[in-house]
């Protein structure tokens, strides 16, 4: 089965613990029409593999990267 999602932005959140998170901001109608919230999909990826996974699997050559390891 294949699913096609129209996207506005892909962000990889690299954290101190657990997994990397890939956040996909959708460029599609809101899943909460009465509130107008923007749709998002989040995918958990093995720690340290999020950027590479985006490139190899999603075909996103240059995702936005938020590295909380370098914060604080």
pLDDT tens digits, 23-49: 999 999 999 999 989 999 999 999 999
> If pLDDT is split at 50, 70 and 90, which confidence band does 71 have?
low
Q: How far is CA 63 from the centre of its chain?
A: 8
- The pairing of strands 64-67 and 40-45 is unpaired
Q: Which residue has the tokens 């999020």?
A: 50
12 in Cβ contact with 54 (< 8 Å) = yes
39 in Cβ contact with 9 (< 8 Å) = no
Report how far residue 10's alpha carbon sits from residue 65's, in angstroms, rounded to the nearest whole number: 9
Global confidence as pTM = 0.85
State yes or no: pLDDT of 55 exceeds 80.
Answer: yes
């Amino acid at each position: 089965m294949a699913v096609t999602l129209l996207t506005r932005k892909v962000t990889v959140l690299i954290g101190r613990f657990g997994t990397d998170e890939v956040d996909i901001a959708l460029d599609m109608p809101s899943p909460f029409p009465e509130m107008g919230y923007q749709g998002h999909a989040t995918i958990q990826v093995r720690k340290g593999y999020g950027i590479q996974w985006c490139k190899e699997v999603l075909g996103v050559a240059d995702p936005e990267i938020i590295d909380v390891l370098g914060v604080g």
